[in-house]
Amino acid sequence: MGADLGITNYIHTSKNLSVDTLDLSDEYDRYAREQRKLARKEHGSNNWEKQRQQVARAKRKIKRKVEDFQHKLTTWLVKKYDVVAVEDLDVKPMLETSQNAKSKQDAAWSRFIELLEYKGELHGTHVETVEPRGTTKECSVCGVETAKPIWVREHSCPACGHKEDRDLNAAKNILTRGLRQLGLGQSESTPVQTALPTFTPHREAVDAKRVVEAGSPGA
C-alpha cells in the first residue's frame, strides 16, 4: 500500500482509502483561551503560574490526541499490509512556507513515519520511504509528468488519457517506488516526459474519529 500525505485529508492510500484529518478545533480554541487568560495575569505571580499550568495542560491534550490517532492508524496499517510505502518528506520547510502550517504540524508526518517504521519491525511489515519529487505530477499509468497547481484535485494525463483523484495517483506512484526499492516492482523502462498543465473513481473515506474510537479505519 502506498500512502500520500493529503491536502484535504490525513492520508490517501493507493487502495483509494482516505483518512480524514483529526478535528482539533475545540482543543485549539481552549488552548487559545487559556493563553489569553495567561496574558492578563501578572508575570511571575501565583495566579500567573497556575494559569501557565492550564496552558500546558491544554497543549498536552492536543499532543496526546494526535499521538493516540497516529498510534492507532499506524498499527492498523502494519497489520493489514505487508508493504507500506510513504514519502520521505522534509516537513520543516513545508511548515515555514505553508499558509496552513497548523494542519501540517498536526499531521506530524515525521513522527508518523517513525511510528510506522518501528511498528513495521514489530509486525514484519516492510516500511519504505521514497523520494517524493514528482509523485503528484507523474502519471501512475504511463509515467508522463503533468504540472498542476495545488487547487487542481484531479490527475488528467494528456498522453494516455488516464484520469483519477490527484492524491490517489500520487499514492500509486509512491507504492510503485517503494516496490522498486524492495526489488519487487518493474524497472524504470519508460522515460519520464513532461506535458503542459491540464485541468474520479469512487473512494472510501474514513472519519478520523472512527480511527480514534475503533482503533482502525476498517473496524
90 is catalytic: no
State residue 150's pLDDT score. 82
State residue 196's pLDDT score. 34
State residue 19's pLDDT score. 92
State residue 107's pLDDT score. 60
87 is catalytic: yes
State residue 89's pLDDT score. 77
| Phi, then psi, of 203 in degrees rounded to 5 | -125, 155
pTM greater than the 0.75 cutoff: yes
| Among 4, 20, 34, 165, the one annotated catalytic | 4
20 is catalytic: no
| Among 20, 27, 87, 138, the one annotated catalytic | 87
Task: Encode the chain (219 residues) as per-residue pLDDT tens digits.
Answer: 999 987 678 899 999 999 988 889 999 999 999 999 999 999 999 999 999 999 999 999 999 999 999 999 999 999 999 999 999 876 545 444 445 545 555 567 888 999 999 999 999 999 999 999 999 999 999 999 988 888 888 999 999 999 999 999 999 999 999 999 999 865 343 333 333 333 334 556 666 666 766 666 765
Q: 149-187 pLDDT, tens per residue?
A: 888 889 999 999 999 999 999 999 999 999 999 998 653
State residue 194's pLDDT score. 33
